[in-house]
Amino acid sequence: MVSGSGRAGRAFLLTNIGELTTNVAAPGDACGTLRDAAVIVRDGRVEWVGSADAAPTDVPVVNAEGRAVIPGFVDSHTHLVFGSDRAAEFAARMAGESYAAGGIRTTVAATRAASDDELRARLAALVGECRAQGTTTLEIKTGYGLDVETETRLARLASEVTAEVTFLGAHVVPAEFAGRGDDYVELVVGDMLDAVAPHARWIDVFCEEGAFTPTQSRRVLEAGRAAGLGIRVHGNQLGFGGGAALAVELGAAAVDHCTYLSDDDVAALAGSDTVATLLPGVEFSTRQPYPDARRLIDAGVTVALASDCNPGSSFTSSMPLMIALAVREMGMTVAEAVWAATAGGARALRLADVGVIRPGARADLVLLEAPTRVHLAYRPGVPLVRTVWKDGAEV
């Protein structure tokens, strides 16, 4: 058993770490791997990192007993505030029906009908799932309200559990605006944006056939930027489209999905600071082709992994599963996948103090029931997260 506890006080020494993934890049090792390592945590931050033999001993000790430690996962794309689920839709897909973005409207109806208390309870349960599986930083999108009142409620509820709230009023065109997409965009960039922006940090749009055109998407993103929000894009999920190019042009922090990318899209991403966030849980759940992470990484694109936890196309909160899928199906090494699920997610949120274990960073740490990070892909489906610290406190 691990001796000691991060609950013992405001400072502790986590020592006898068999393999420590710092994500402080070293030559030939983007994960900045240290062995026989130790970390001192004080007041919610990492104070010291180094060899276990050289560690000070004037604070309470937590003995990792040779286990691996990684940064807390940074899940930069989730939709955790919603009413009801879509299990029947999933079963139908598994029976051969194709995936379409229109299923979102089913969740919209259930979400509009749900009370704040019902939504808050479901959100708390999902956040608990995320924490138990090692996720310490979460982005949460709106997008299941699609009217001013409900979108504002979703943003407010999300802001109770994370600072990384994204306004996704432009998820799909709601039923009451069928055939009037431009009119709905005007609502999104007008009254809806005014109401939601005080609760959000980001704005997003689903730039995809069946959702919003590149022209409509530009209108949404530019209005959000004018309101002081950072830019994110859902793009290139269901086919080749303009989402990735628009994201790069507007300086978006991330474009998410990236299943279908042209050579020009890849080159543009490689020459930008826009992160390509890959969401393999979606391909697992919809039986679409997986994105080619190897192609992106070899071209020099910064890649993140995220869960896209949502009731329709990826109802999983497991970042370890994303790592296993990325390694098995997308051409990533384990080191690349772990980096993408931690430091890559931080880049996608433009956060410098998470996804990394170095002095000054938030003390968001995950102790694995395994000697190396390789086991996250080597032992898929096994609950390997033993202990999680968020801001230095044991979860």
Following DSSP, what letter does each residue of 304-362 receive, concatenated? EE---BBTTTB----HHHHHHHHHHHS---HHHHHHIIIIIHHHHTT-SSSS--STTSB
Do residues 15 and 61 touch, judged by C-beta distance below 8 A? yes
The structure's pTM equals 0.96
53 burial class (0-12, 13-18, 19+ CB within 10 angstroms)? Answer: exposed
Is residue 280 within 8 A of residue 290, CB to CB? The reply is yes
Q: Check pLDDT > 60 for residue 106.
A: yes
Backbone angles phi, psi at 191, to 5 degrees: -60, -35
Query: Binding site annotation covers 77?
Result: yes
pLDDT at 8: 43
- Alpha-carbon span 303 to 314, nearest angstrom: 19
Those residues whose C-beta lies under 8 Å from the C-beta of residue 198, and which sit 6 or more positions away, are none
Question: What is the pLDDT, as a whole number, of residue 252?
Answer: 98
115 is in an annotated binding site: no
- For residue 134, the 8-state DSSP code is T
* Element spanning 89, H or E: helix 87-94
Question: Given the DSSP bridges, would you call strands 275-278 and 303-305 parallel, antiparallel or unpaired?
Answer: parallel
Q: Is 270 within 8 Å of 76 (Cβ atoms)?
A: no
Distance between CA atoms of 51 and 317, rounded to whole angstroms?
A: 33
For residue 98, the model assigns a pLDDT of: 77
Contact 285, 315 (CB under 8 A): yes
Q: How far apart are CA 357 and CA 343, in angstroms?
A: 10
Task: List the one residue out of 390, 374, 378, 370 whose CA is nearest residue 65.
Answer: 370
Q: Which residues pair with 232 in a beta bridge?
A: 254
pLDDT at 4 over 60: no
Residue 63, annotated ligand binder?
no
Binding site annotation covers 375? no
Instruction: Report CA Rg, the chain.
Output: 21
Structure tokens at 294: 């190897």
The tens digit of pLDDT for each residue in 126-149 reads 999 999 999 999 999 999 999 999
pLDDT at 9: 52
Kindly report, residue by residue over 64-79, the tens digit of the pLDDT: 999 999 999 999 999 9
The beta strands (E) that lie in 208-292 are given as 230-235, 254-257, 275-278
What confidence category does residue 105 fall into, taking pLDDT thresholds of 50, 70 and 90? Answer: confident
Assess contact for 21 and 357: CB atoms under 8 A. Answer: yes
| 3 pLDDT higher than 80 | no
pLDDT band at 301 (very low <50, low <70, confident <90, very high): very high
| Residue type (1 letter), 361 | A
Domains and their CATH numbers in the chain: 11-72+356-394 (2.30.40.10), 74-348 (3.20.20.140)
H-helix or E-strand spanning residue 104: helix 104-113
Over residues 120-126, the mean pLDDT reads 98
Task: Quote the tokens at residue 273.
Answer: 């600071």
Q: Was 281 annotated as part of a binding site?
A: no
Give mean pLDDT, residues 109-115.
Answer: 96
What pLDDT, on the 0 to 100 scale, is given for residue 104?
Answer: 85
Q: How many whole angstroms separate alpha carbon 301 and alpha carbon 282? A: 21
Whole-angstrom CA distances from 350 to 74, 119, 254, 304 are: 11, 28, 9, 12
CA–CA distance, 345 with 303 (Å, rounded to integer)? 8
How does residue 100 score in pLDDT terms, banded at 50, 70 and 90? low
Give per-residue pLDDT as tens, 339-377: 999 999 999 999 999 999 999 999 999 999 999 999 999
Q: Is 199 part of any known ligand binding site?
A: no
Query: For 153-191, how does the pLDDT look when each residue is reduced to its tens digit (9 = 90+)?
Result: 999 999 999 999 999 999 999 999 999 999 999 999 999
pLDDT category, 1, cuts 50, 70, 90? Answer: very low
b/e 252-287 (16+ beta carbons within 10 angstroms → b): bbbbbbbbbbeeebbebbbebebbbbbbbbbbbbbe
Binding residue per annotation — 43?
A: no
**Residues in CB range of 266: below 8 A, 6 or more apart:** 295, 296, 299, 301
What is the distance between the terminal CA atoms of the chain, rounded to a whole angstrom? Answer: 17
Predicted local distance difference test score (pLDDT) of residue 114 = 97
Q: Is 272 annotated as a binding residue?
A: no
Interval 111-127 mean pLDDT: 98
229-241 burial code (b ≥16 CB/10 A, e <16): bbbbbbbbbbeeb
CB 316 within 8 A of CB 9: no
Kindly state the tokens that stand for 10: 């405001």
